Amino acid sequence: NLLFVPVFLPLAVGIVIFIIPRAVRVLPALLSLLTTAAVFAAALLIFLKGSADFHFPLFEIGKFALSFDLLVTPLSSFILIFVGGFGFLISLYSLFYMMGKARLKEYYGFFLLALAGSSGVLMADHFIIFLISWEIVTASLYFLITLGDPEAKVGATKTFAMLGGVDGCLLLGIGILWYLSNSFTISNINIPVEGWLSGLAFILMMVAAITKAGAMPFHSWIPAASEGAPAPVMAFLPAAIDKLLGIYLLVKITTTIFTLTSAMGLVLMIIGAVTVLAAVMVAMVQHDLRRLLSYHAISQVGYMVLGIGTLTPIGIAGGLFHMLNHSIYKSCLFLCGGAVEKKAKTNELAELGGLARVMPVTFTACLIAALAISGVPPLNGFVSKWMVYQGIIQMGLLQSTGVAKLWPIWLVAAMFGSALTLASFVKIIHSIFLSRLPNELKDTSKRNPGRPKKTEGE
């Protein structure tokens, strides 16, 4: 069955990589590249095939029934393409970035486990399978972060503690759903948020979703993870996959699993607006490139939550489109940051400058991604933000509730956040690429700009 490939192929190859002798350094990278290419190809075929499902009952005890259920919808199959595509591109980037690094087989092993878990989350139609896949991604993120600098273990511990804690909320929310519906089959559940118990289930699952995506006030694990984690890890998980999975769950609970009231939509819009403004303001005062990019990743989640919170078709579509767009340009920015760090041996903006002459390809890619995240037309970030703006306006004009009358506040917050993002990236581009080249980097200007110089011990 084609549905097995994105889940079981990277899972099996990841386990095999762990038992490969450490002396064989090329094989893990090669296996990872071939596996991610196969997953990407399978994702494309699944998308072209349309909706598909697989059901295999395992056991049943009273009202509790466990079965291996997979269900692919147009939305999940489309997101699966991005997961497979990012997996292949990050694997390709890792061939050069991780060259000479220690613990290569652990890196590629956990990388493939994270890919398998991500695919499982998108295709699971049974909450137990969903939860197991969700936890595989969380555990893999922890181990991947620890493979970075020595100080990365502190950030990894904080990340795992925070994500693991809110995953308890997800488990409790799923338990309440089972109590209310007597089913773990995701596609069979649709509960109106009317009583306190259904409202509690929604809030618990919403907390898990926005924490995974990195929205405020459950955002602090992303800057913590950025301190010392390898650049491809940040580009693959916090910048891309965790956003895809968190927003995917948020869309599922707001559109199919629950039937929401306007009050719940207001909660989401407040979270979205606060995340947009607060995170970008914090980003503007950062001096470390990784932390700065991390806070911008948090800020962009606000647009996704804001669009979904409008509960309008164009707003929800805008939030989803921004999720996909963000995964593209934010991954690009983290990879550019990794290239800069490898070349300059620092993340401090004050110690960087003039790298446009040394790294013209990186400069061009970073400039395009910076304009996209800032919402400059005609790039993709502008289109998805415009759809979110239209969703806010549509909510205000078509609804007569008191919540809808607040639409100018949400619109101003979203547009002001874009202006601050642009100002922040003007600072970044100037500090890294256009200011004076530091003396210690001048000797690199004669080197091949496409190949960063190697550090000692790599």
CA atoms within 13 A on the CB side of 4: 6
d(CA 269, CA 282) in angstroms, rounded, equals 20
Per-residue 3-state assignment (H helix, E strand, C coil) for the chain:
CHHHHHHHHHHHHHHHHHCCCCCCCHHHHHHHHHHHHHHHHHHHHHHHHCCEEEEEEEEEECCEEEEEEEEECHHHHHHHHHHHHHHHHHHHHHHHHCCCCCCHHHHHHHHHHHHHHHHHHHHECEHHHHHHHHHHHHHHHHHHHHCCCCCHHHHHHHHHHHHHHHHHHHHHHHHHHHHHHCCCEHHHCCEECCCHHHHHHHHHHHHHHHHHHCCCCCCCHHHHHHCCCCHHHHHHHHHHHHHHHHHHHHHHHHHHHEECCHHHHHHHHHHHHHHHHHHHHHHHCCCEHHHHHHHHHHHHHHHHHHHHHCCCHHHHHHHHHHHHHHHHHHHHHHHHHHHHHHHHCCCEHHHCCCHHHHCHHHHHHHHHHHHHHCCCCCCHHHHHHHHHHHHHHHHHHHCCCCCHHHHHHHHHHHHHHHHHHHHHHHHHHHHHHHCCCCHHHHHHHHCCCCCCCCCCCC
Q: What is the per-residue pLDDT for 265?
A: 82
Q: Which residue has the higher pLDDT, 40 or 101?
A: 40
Strand-strand pairing, 191-192 and 258-259: parallel
Which pLDDT band holds residue 455 (cuts at 50, 70, 90)?
Answer: very low
Say if residue 134's pLDDT is above 80: yes
What does the pLDDT average to over 49-78? 80
Q: Which residue has the higher pLDDT, 328 or 224?
A: 328
Mean pLDDT estimate for the chain: 84
Say if residue 67's pLDDT is above 90: no
> How is the chain split into domains, by residue range?
261-458
Say if residue 62's pLDDT is above 90: no
Q: Which residue has the higher pLDDT, 114 or 54?
A: 114
What does the pLDDT average to over 434-446? 63
What does the pLDDT average to over 398-422? 82
Does the pTM surpass 0.75? The reply is yes
Which pLDDT band holds residue 369 (cuts at 50, 70, 90)?
Answer: very high
Give the whole-number percent of the chain exceeding pLDDT 70: 93
Say if residue 446's pLDDT is above 70: no
Q: What is the per-residue pLDDT for 438?
A: 65
Q: What is the per-residue pLDDT for 452?
A: 40
Which pLDDT band holds residue 185 (cuts at 50, 70, 90)?
Answer: confident
Q: What is the per-residue pLDDT for 439?
A: 62
pLDDT in tens, 77-130: 899 999 999 899 989 988 887 777 777 888 899 999 999 999 999 998 888 899
Q: Lowest mean pLDDT: which of 30-39, 326-335, 371-380, 392-401?
A: 392-401
Q: What is the per-residue pLDDT for 97?
A: 79
